Chain A
């Protein structure tokens, strides 16, 4: 049962941390909770569908279907996170100074929140479908009773949600003045890490060359499967043995989003 709990925790962690950070970043946008729940629900429903379709997805594109699917999901998430950060670069200052809400128009806020809902749905979908498959395998393979699988799954899920809630609570302690800079930086690194993961899937399917591999090897110092390594992997895209292509994608996503944020930032004299 604890083995099941650990795996479910590991799978839940990424989506939960992302959700915690995004919830903090979207604080004071009216209607936030509704969109968060919408994204979460869509993601959960989607993960059941994806889990049921795993075999068909895997067989697509000469067996590279799973990698392409993952790469596409990650690619869209990177775009949405980038859009969010650029949007916040424009409106964050006003939101911070007026403390509560006041997004110029509800319409604009809605578009921003729908981007956020999509990111959450995709994160939950990716991790959730793997969790469903794993628990299904456990329950049907006789490795565990159904009750054991459910209990283990619930325990892991609670752990993951606690981690997400923890980062959310922690972020809310930051004064509003700095909150959006902190969440903006976190989301920037998250998005860059996802772009790196996207490249990794395309390399795995032989759709992209790996380049120099590994570009560096820090697996002796900080392995990705250690507690700190896996948290850093989720948060900033840390890799112990990345390929050059993976880091190229990381760097390009980072620069593109940073550039967009800079470009969108309102002129100084407007913010006062």
Chain B
């Protein structure tokens, strides 16, 4: 009985994890985000694929999204966000705050 419940829970958890397959790409180049405005669906979990094409590390950070992740030069990172309420969620690269700025728009 306990095992069945556990198996069910695990199944539910994995199906939840895979159900929301929405992937969005962000590229960091010359210490800038492209696109600098990214539209994502509100109300569901979103997978951000951030590719740092610069040779130097960057830290993806957003107070609004409550996320921070160091992305080494020349590598990709996955960051899960949401489900988000509709609105604007600015993010920035902490290591190059002047140029590396962008916003996620949930709608």
Residue positions of A touching B, CB distance < 8 A: 3, 7, 54-55, 58-59, 62-64, 66-67, 130, 133-134, 136-138, 140-141, 143, 200, 203-206, 209-210, 213-214, 219, 223-225, 239-243, 246
B11 to chain A, nearest CB (A): 15
Q: Report A25 CB to chain B, min CB distance, Å.
A: 28
Complex-state Cα separation, A247 to B8, whole angstroms: 26
Verify A240–B63 contact, CB threshold 8 A.
yes
Residues A59 and B75 in contact, CB atoms below 8 Å apart: yes
Residues of B in contact, count (CB < 8 Å): 35
Given A58-B72, A133-B57, A136-B56, A63 contacting B78 (CB threshold 8 A): yes
User: B3 on the interface (CB 8 Å rule)?
Assistant: no
CA distance A87 to B84 in the complex (A): 42
Task: Tell me whether A134 and B80 are in contact in the complex, defined as CB-CB below 8 angstroms, given that A58-B75, A219-B64 are known contacts.
Answer: no
Spell out B's residues near A (CB within 8 Å).
13, 16-17, 31, 45, 47, 54-59, 63-64, 66-67, 69-73, 75-80, 82-84, 94-98
Nearest CB in chain A to that of B93: its residue: A137
Q: How far is the CA of A223 from the CA of B54 in the complex (A)?
A: 30
Contact across chains for B83 and A213 when beta carbons are under 8 A apart? yes
Report the Cα distance A141→B93, complex, angstroms: 14
Judge whether A136 and B69 touch: CB under 8 Å. no
Closest 5 CB pairs of A and B: A137-B56, A141-B56, A206-B80, A55-B72, A133-B57
A239 contact set on B, CB distance < 8 A = 66
* B54 near A141: Cβ-Cβ < 8 Å: yes
Q: 14 A-B Cβ contacts within 8 A?
A: A55-B75, A58-B70, A130-B70, A133-B72, A134-B57, A134-B95, A136-B57, A137-B57, A138-B95, A141-B55, A143-B31, A204-B67, A204-B79, A239-B66
A198 CB, min distance to chain B CBs, angstroms: 13
Q: Are A3 and B78 in contact (CB under 8 A)?
A: no
Indicate the member of B72, B76, B77, B78 with the most A CB atoms within 10 Å: B72
Given contacts A143-B96, A204-B79, contact A223 B55 (CB under 8 A): no
Which residue from chain B places its CB closest to the CB of A205 in the assembled complex? B80
Alpha-carbon separation in the docked complex, A214 to B87 (Å) = 13
Residue from B45, B54, B56, B82 with most neighbouring chain A CB atoms (10 Å): B56
Q: Which residue of A lies closest to B13 (CB)?
A: A209
